C-alpha cells in the first residue's frame, strides 16, 4: 500500500508560480513511478507529468511542456510539480498518483494509488 498526500495548491494570478508536493508513505517509495494528473470541472482527468522511479526520466503533456517540471526526492519520499507561468486554463484539481509497474505515462489506469487532490486556481 502507498498513501499519497498532496499539498501546495492555492489561488495565483496568471503568470505566477506554484509548487505542488506529494508525500508518500507505506510501500517503498523509490520503487514506484509517479505521475501528476488534473481534472477541471466538467472535464475528464488528464495527464500532466510523469517521472520514473529513479528520477532520470520524465514525460509531460504538450500543454505544460516548458512551464512545469516534475522531480522527486526519494530520501524525503516526495515528488514535486513546479508550475511556472500559470494560465487560467491550468485551473483544476491536481492529483498525485503512484504506479508499482514502473509506468509513468499518461494512461491513468496504469496507476495503482491516488491522492485526494489539491485545488489550483489561476485567475486572469
Residue pLDDT, tens place only, 22-80: 999 887 677 789 999 999 999 999 999 999 988 899 999 999 999 999 999 989 999 99
Which residues, in sequence order, are CB contacts of 7 under 8 Å at separation 6+?
A: 20, 21, 23, 118
Separation between Cα atoms, residue 30 and residue 75, nearest integer Å? 9
Look over the chain and give the mean of its residue pLDDT values, rounded to a whole number: 94
pLDDT digits (tens, 9 = 90+) for 68-119: 999 999 899 999 999 999 999 999 999 999 998 889 999 999 999 999 999 9
Contact assessment for residue 91 and residue 120, using Cβ atoms and an 8 Å cutoff: yes
pLDDT score, position 100:
87
pLDDT score, position 102:
85
Contact assessment for residue 111 and residue 90, using Cβ atoms and an 8 Å cutoff: no
pLDDT score, position 101:
83
Separation between Cα atoms, residue 6 and residue 79, nearest integer Å? 9
Amino acid at each position: 500500500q502507498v498513501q499519497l498526500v498532496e499539498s501546495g495548491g492555492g489561488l495565483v494570478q496568471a503568470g505566477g508560480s506554484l509548487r505542488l508536493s506529494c508525500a508518500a508513505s507505506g510501500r517503498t517509495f523509490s520503487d514506484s513511478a509517479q505521475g501528476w494528473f488534473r481534472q477541471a470541472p466538467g472535464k475528464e482527468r488528464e495527464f500532466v507529468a510523469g517521472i520514473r522511479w529513479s528520477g532520470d526520466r520524465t514525460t509531460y503533456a504538450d500543454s505544460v511542456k516548458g512551464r512545469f517540471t516534475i522531480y522527486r526526492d526519494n530520501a524525503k519520499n516526495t515528488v514535486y510539480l513546479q508550475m511556472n507561468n500559470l494560465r487560467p486554463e491550468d485551473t483544476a484539481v491536481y492529483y498525485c498518483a503512484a504506479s508499482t509497474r514502473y509506468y509513468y505515462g499518461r494512461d491513468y489506469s496504469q496507476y495503482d494509488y491516488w491522492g485526494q487532490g489539491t485545488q489550483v486556481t489561476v485567475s486572469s
